[in-house]
Amino acid sequence: MRLRLLLALLWLGVMVGLASIPSPGDPSSGAIANAVHAVQYAVFTIILLSLARAALPRLPGRVLLVPVLGVALLVGAAQEWYQSFLPYRSADPDDIIFDAAGAVAGWFLWMVATSLWRRRPQRQLAAG
């Protein structure tokens, strides 16, 4: 579980680092930035779900949805607030929408992957 917590903190550091980089003034970079937000938060949500699953193994994934998405959205809002203090960045409420979309996509990918993992055929060791 410590490794998962360390991974979550490292990924959070990556996200803060990326949020600190001056954004290009090129209007075409908007679509790329939106995709980056979504991917960052999809990965962050998957890491948080892995951490939550290790801490609370008996709870189903759908129960973990609200707290994990809440943490992801809180981090997204905090990231935008942080950017409002940087002279070369600005807070954009639309980014929180892409953060949320990425978080939901991450949760969906997590649920599909865990469902497929549970359905995989169990290999039995041959007696011998």
Read off the pLDDT of residues 1-13 as tens digits, 9 standing for 90 and up: 899 999 999 999 9
What's the mean pLDDT in 95-117? Answer: 92
pLDDT classification of 15: cutoffs 50, 70, 90: very high
Q: Quick check: is 126 in a domain?
A: no
Q: Could you tell me if residue 57 is inside a domain?
A: yes
Give the chain's mean pLDDT.
Answer: 87
How many distinct structural domains can be found in the chain? 1
- Residues 6 or more apart in contact with residue 8 via CB below 8 angstroms: 44, 47, 48, 51
pLDDT tens readout for residues 107-123: 999 989 988 887 777 65
pLDDT computed for residue 4 by the predictor: 92
Full residue range of the structural domain in which residue 36 is found: 2-19+30-119
In a domain? residue 96:
yes
What is the pLDDT averaged over residues 90-106? 93
Mean pLDDT of the region 36-45:
95
Residue 105 lies in a domain: yes
Question: What's the predicted TM-score (pTM) here?
Answer: 0.83
> For the chain, what percentages of helix, strand and coil (3-state, to nearest 5) are there?
75, 0, 25
Q: How far apart are CA 111 and CA 61, in angstroms?
A: 7
Is a pLDDT exceeding 60 seen at residue 126? no
Amino acid at 27: P
Examine residue 56 and state whether it is found in any structural domain, yes or no. yes
Q: Compute the distance between CA of residue 10 and CA of residue 116 in angstroms, rounded to an integer.
A: 28
Look at residue 124 and tell me if it is in a domain: no
